[in-house]
Amino acid sequence: MSEEQPRRLSDKIAAAHEQACNQGKADVARSLLHALELELSAHGGAPEKRTIDEAIESAFTRQRLLDTT
């Protein structure tokens, strides 16, 4: 069975952010994190009606770690 693909745009952006961090692409990761912030806010369209999940929280943590190295 294939792995289920994320359906929400925010989940896809978070996955791309993780990949950019894993590859050490700090500028790309920072841009993706900004895109994630826009998607989760009213400025990116209709705000999502969900709590911050582990993937989203992890994205911000990864970015902080990447920015300090």
Residue pLDDT, tens place only, 16-39: 999 999 999 999 999 999 999 898
Average of per-residue pLDDT across 45-54: 63
**Residue 31 within a domain:** yes
Max avg pLDDT among 1-10, 27-36, 42-51, 58-67: 27-36
Name the band, by pLDDT with cuts 50, 70 and 90, for residue 49: low
Residue 2 lies in a domain: no
Count: domains in the chain: 1
Give the contacts of 62 (CB within 8 A, at least 6 positions apart): 17, 18, 21, 29
Residues spanned by the domain of 45: 9-67
Q: Contact at 8 Å (CB) between 67 and 34? A: no
34 domain residue, yes or no: yes
